[in-house]
Amino acid sequence: MMNFLKKYLSRDDFRFVMDSIAEAEKETIGEIRVSLVYRRKWKERNRTVEDLALEDFHRLGMEKTRERTGVLIFVLLSSRELRIVADQGINEKVNSGVWEGIVNAMIEDFKQGNYKNGLVKGVGMVGKVLKEHFPRKAGDTDELSNTIEVRE
Ligand code: CA
């Protein structure tokens, strides 16, 4: 584990969040990923969290799912900024206000220093939305890794 991460999540917390992704994906063809970034790099200082989240979505190849059902939960830890980016298959059905509601719920936990709860809650809420609009079908596969992406 990278050193900065210990301020936010224990090794067990980290594992727990990954398990919650696998759990949420059991009910849907959707794919959830979590990306944790410690802070903006100097060259990113003028970029919004939205820009960085979109960039990460593509860097991680999340637009490559069959039905365009990837959802990224992107967190800038040091500034407690957070965005949820969904692929176009989902955006056709789910209003962006839904993601804002989830972001706000997660930030409440982050403010109290409870990053594990915030992340698990967010993953669970995203999973519910996906289940409603994109229920699991026969032959569904795990298209994107459940591993949490971490970078400084
Ligand atoms: Ca997955």
The pLDDT tens digits for 108-128 are: 999 999 999 999 999 999 999
pTM reported for the whole predicted model: 0.96
Separation of CA 67 and ligand 1 centre (Å):
14
- Read off the pLDDT of each residue in 46-54 and give the average, rounded to a whole number: 96
Question: Mean of the per-residue pLDDT values for the chain?
Answer: 95
H/E segment holding residue 84: strand 81-86
Percent of the chain's residues with pLDDT above 90:
95
Separation of CA 43 and ligand 1 centre (Å):
31
List pLDDT tens digits, range 80-112: 999 999 999 999 999 999 999 999 999 999 999
The whole-number pLDDT of residue 3 equals 85
Separation of CA 11 and ligand 1 centre (Å):
20
Q: Is-contact 25 137, C-beta < 8 A? A: no
By C-alpha distance, which of 149, 151, 116, 150 is closest to 14? 116
Ion ligand 1, residue ranges at CB < 5 A: 31, 142, 144, 146
d(CA 97, CA 29): 22
